[in-house]
Amino acid sequence: MTLRELLINAYQWADVHALTLLLAALAWGLGGTLLARVAKGGRSDQDGRVIASVVIGGAVLLLVVALLASGVAHVAFNQGLMDTNALLLLAPLVCVLVSVIGIHRVFPLSELASVRTLRDLAGFAVACMALLWLLSKFRGWGVAFLGGLGSLALICLLAALLLRVLYKRAFEEHG
């Protein structure tokens, strides 16, 4: 079996079971919220926070997998979103939406480690994209419009420091 056949078979299986996958995504958010609520009522709410972090992280992971799958479908199979089963497109969005709304009713999202990590990763990714965009604007002669090589070096130094801080926040242990 080739990779192409494997991906086609996986999509065909998901297409046949689209309603089940949508209900499973809904159950992930509702069940996780219920488990977090029950665990919050124990001696400490630490177990509830761990469950809430896992629920949010799993929902975001499902969304990332769906985005990667749609990217692969576009690049490798020349298929767009309009060719996809609507229930399969809806499942990750429903999962994230129900998980975030449900967990937010149990815990403030800013107190969850997974949310802080996702926020830091998103900040790092946005800073990297902004730096790549800025560097794409220099085509050799563009330095003259910024005020010379000194200004360019200063911008690069500030960008490097920002990326370093964001990298440490995103990929090192939170205290």
Q: With both helix axes pointing from N to C terminus, report the angle between 3-16 and 46-77 in degrees, rounded to the nearest 10.
A: 120
- Give the pLDDT of residue 121: 82
**Angle, CA of 92, 97 and 98, to the nearest 5°:** 100
- Give the pLDDT of residue 82: 87
- Give the pLDDT of residue 130: 82
- Give the pLDDT of residue 31: 95
- Give the pLDDT of residue 149: 67
| 153 in Cβ contact with 104 (< 8 Å) | no
What residue ranges of the chain have pLDDT lower than 50?
A: none
| 52 in Cβ contact with 105 (< 8 Å) | no
Q: Which two tokens stand for residue 145?
A: 């419009």
- Give the pLDDT of residue 154: 77
Global pTM reads 0.73
The Cα diameter of the chain in Å comes to 65
Q: Which residue has the tokens 């200063």?
A: 154
| 113 in Cβ contact with 175 (< 8 Å) | no
